[in-house]
Amino acid sequence: MCTNIVYEWLKTLQLPQYAESFVDNGYDDLEVCKQIGDPDLDAIGVAVPHHRRRIHEAVRRLKQADETAAGLYFTLEPQP
């Protein structure tokens, strides 16, 4: 079994059984996982409706965390 960030993420969602399928389908990084949609879940083999909802909600939270973190960065270049 793989032990990477995606496995850990799925474990927190109580869905570690999908970890190998995620990695086999190229979802081996959370940045890639942020792009998951219904066709991707079909390809990965996530058929249980509440598992799909749990993953979609987690993806939404990952994207939201990015938006929040984006406000923490600043540039030292002059603004136009």
Handedness of CA 49, 20, 8, 34 (dihedral sign): negative
Overall pTM surpassing 0.85 (yes/no) = no
pLDDT at 57 over 70: yes
Res 72: pLDDT: 53
Q: Class assignment of domain 3-70?
A: mainly alpha
> What's the CA gap between 24 and 71, in Å, rounded?
34
Task: Assess contact for 32 and 53: CB atoms under 8 A.
Answer: no
Q: What is the pLDDT at residue 1?
A: 43
Q: Which residue has the higher pLDDT, 79 or 34?
A: 34
Mean pLDDT for 37-43 is 95
Q: Is pLDDT of 52 > 60?
A: yes
Indicate the domain borders of the chain: 3-70
Mean pLDDT of the chain: 86
